[in-house]
A and B are shown apart, each in its own frame.
Chain A
Amino acid sequence: MKRVLPVWVRPRAVLVAGIGAAVLALLPFFHSNRYWHNQITETMLAVVAALAWNWLGGYLGQVSFGHAAMFGLGGFVAARFQASLGLPMIPAWIVAGIVAGLYALVWGHPTLRLRGPYFSIATIGVGEATRLICTYWVWLTGGSSGMSLPVQIQLKYQLYWYALALALLALAASYALRRSPLGLSLLAIKSDVDAAGDVGVSSVRLQDLVLFISGMTMGICGGFYASYYSFIEPGDMFGFSRSISFVLMGVIGGIGTIAGPAVGALIYVLLRNALLASYPQLYLGLYGLLLILVILFEPLGLTGLFLRVFHRKRPDLGVTGVAAEDSAAPATGVTPAPAEQRGAK
């Protein structure tokens, strides 16, 4: 029998994703609650961003605190191309993605040779520098008062399905980047960059590739965000708290796992909206607390918790990307228990 899918794809994963996608795609026809419709759209966008962050932060173990730079740049490039050059929405997103991906390469190619905490510190600088430059770059961003796109109520409703499509693509990419031999090479680089080189892994090229894909996806998310909200301003788009939000989603859901960050994004968005409504001053503090608790007690986040509960029955869930004696531990504070990974023998 000829294979349609690569050997590393499990039919069950395709089935689960297919059912999930079908349910979400048909859901809006069964309810007319605009609040939940928007919530789900926002969540799916967060899912895409969280997964894109995880390709770099989780798979390669290079934790970025500056991913808002690509998000913001993508948003403003997409908005500017639509507003000033009259480019349609989708091509504008693509341009935004390419620009953001290239921008990521510009700062990332030199900084990715730093490892662990040093890389993370560099990304903080990159994020803040980008925010300042773009705040004063009035032609592109409209300065600190931001810029607007024409509001289209119908489009905002339809963007739900665009977000769903993007989320599915991002999930598929996450799966491929973890399971394919190429993806395994990324994990090998994370574990030991020199030993990876000794078995033929070109770390520089692969790191650049992942950085480009991650930055490009971030840029597309930014473009989507601009179309969705019709108004964007640099302080929000490039804000440090936005960069942190990507880290939080990844860590809460399970850094380095395939679908963990997607769950993390769901929790993050729901929690944020609940907390923002009732305790606007508290919510960042609560996230800090949550972050500390996760890193202390369950370094693999919700995925780790899930594995701990169901591990005995189902030893391989295809998400155990981060294992014992992880060399990236200093970067993330993640030191999972070895016993969790090897399971019942």
Chain B
Amino acid sequence: MTAILRAEGLSKRFGGLKANDNVTLALEERQILGLIGPNGAGKTTCFSMLAGSIPPSAGRVFLGEQEITGLPAFRVARAGVVRTHQIVRPFANLTLMENCTVAAAQCSGRDDAGSRELAREMLQFVGLEKRRNEYPGGLTLAGRKKLEMARALSCSPKALLLDEVIAGVNPVEARDMVTLIRRIRDEKGISILMIEHVMAAVMSLCEHVVVLDAGKLIAAGAPKEIVQNPAVVEAYLGKKHA
């Protein structure tokens, strides 16, 4: 297997704080890779660096063979790495359809009509097609998270970075979301790197999991091994449980 997205020795300092310290990970083709860790471990910072939202202090990011380190977010998105946001950020002044059309028009290289078509397809894919002419303000949280995903998918990404899309939705919607994420990989062939706190979802979706704690990568492996790894248990629950 070849890596779609690769981070080598990625570090980020905010003044004296090392939010990420020498993180190396690889997202393989058609893989769903989980990124977990306790609160404040630096998961979202890692995402932001991969997606170009913030430049890394050190280290390199590769998309396939192409180096994308330090490129601005819009170039990274056009190259094929697209993220969603933990706290959803829909364009409130645009309809769902327009939200996705913007992404499609900027990234997919299609013309106007093609972009709209792609946007509509993606809304249909996540199950929001019927509401395409409404504004995001009318959606539930789960709906808005789906919109974030539809919008990201409209970019035709090679790698999709999902930041806690399951956390915060009710159990029925969560099951829905798990199915949706699996379909993105199976039907669209897109590799997925996901941050998630809902372990049940991580266990059922991810073939491989990497664990961050205090900015450092402390473990990597299959989900079943990871939850028994002493270092991981210590990171979450403290020393005496390890």
CB distance from A139 to the nearest CB of B (A): 42
- Judged by a CB distance under 8 angstroms, whether A188 is at the interface is yes
CB distance from A255 to the nearest CB of B (A): 12
Beyond A181-B105, A184-B105, whether A202 also contacts B74 by CB under 8 A is yes
Q: Which of A3, A190, A341 has the most CB of B within 10 A?
A: A341
Q: Which of B82, B98, B152, B155 has the most CB of A within 10 A?
A: B98
Residues of A with C-beta under 8 A to B83: 198
Residues of A with C-beta under 8 A to B104: 181
CB contacts under 8 Å to A, within B62-114, are: 72-74, 77-78, 82-83, 85, 89-94, 98-99, 101-107, 112-113
- Judged by a CB distance under 8 angstroms, whether B216 is at the interface is no
Residues of B with C-beta under 8 A to A190: 93
Q: Which of A182, A184, A194 has the most CB of B within 10 A?
A: A184
Q: CA–CA, A188 to B95, complex, Å?
A: 11
Contact call A8/B112, Cβ cutoff below 8 A: yes
- Judged by a CB distance under 8 angstroms, whether A331 is at the interface is no
- Judged by a CB distance under 8 angstroms, whether B51 is at the interface is yes
Contact call A6/B112, Cβ cutoff below 8 A: yes
Q: CA–CA, A322 to B95, complex, Å?
A: 11
Contact call A324/B112, Cβ cutoff below 8 A: no
Beyond A199-B155, A323-B137, whether A191 also contacts B91 by CB under 8 A is yes
**Range, interface on chain A:** 35 or more
Q: Which residue on B lies nearest to A180, using beta carbons?
A: B112
Contact call B93/A199, Cβ cutoff below 8 A: no
Residues of A with C-beta under 8 A to B113: 3, 6-7
Contact call A345/B134, Cβ cutoff below 8 A: yes
Q: CA–CA, A342 to B104, complex, Å?
A: 23
Contact call B137/A188, Cβ cutoff below 8 A: no
What DSSP secondary structure best describes chain A's contact surface? loop
Q: Which residue on A lies nearest to B103, using beta carbons?
A: A199
Contact call B133/A194, Cβ cutoff below 8 A: no
Contact call B107/A199, Cβ cutoff below 8 A: yes
1/0 per residue A152-196: CB within 8 Å of B?
A: 000000000000000000000000000011101101101110111
- Judged by a CB distance under 8 angstroms, whether A201 is at the interface is yes
Residues of A with C-beta under 8 A to B77: 197-200
Q: CA–CA, A184 to B94, complex, Å?
A: 8
Partner of A194, one of B53, B78, B107: B53
- Judged by a CB distance under 8 angstroms, whether B138 is at the interface is yes
For the A-B complex, the count of residue pairs with Cβ-Cβ distances under 8 Å equals 119
Partner of A341, one of B106, B135, B151, B154: B135
Q: CA–CA, A190 to B112, complex, Å?
A: 21
Contact call B154/A191, Cβ cutoff below 8 A: no
1/0 per residue A84-99: CB within 8 Å of B?
A: 0000000000000000
- Judged by a CB distance under 8 angstroms, whether B6 is at the interface is no
Residues of A with C-beta under 8 A to B133: 316
- Judged by a CB distance under 8 angstroms, whether B191 is at the interface is no
Contact call A192/B107, Cβ cutoff below 8 A: no
CB distance from B222 to the nearest CB of A (A): 30
Q: CA–CA, A181 to B105, complex, Å?
A: 6
Residues of B with C-beta under 8 A to A325: 92, 137
- Judged by a CB distance under 8 angstroms, whether A245 is at the interface is no
Partner of B93, one of A3, A8, A200, A326: A326
Contact call A188/B53, Cβ cutoff below 8 A: no
16 A-B Cβ contacts within 8 A? A7-B113, A180-B112, A181-B105, A187-B98, A188-B91, A194-B89, A196-B91, A199-B102, A199-B103, A199-B152, A200-B107, A325-B137, A326-B92, A338-B137, A341-B135, A342-B138
> Residues of A at under 8 Å CB distance from B?
3, 6-8, 180-182, 184-185, 187-188, 190-192, 194-203, 256, 316, 321-327, 338, 341-342, 345
Q: A181-B105, A198-B83 are in contact. List 6 more A-B contacts (CB 8 A).
A: A188-B102, A191-B93, A197-B72, A198-B51, A198-B73, A199-B103
Q: List the 6 shortest-distance A-B pairs measured between CB atoms, nearest first.
A: A181-B105, A200-B106, A199-B103, A197-B73, A195-B89, A200-B107
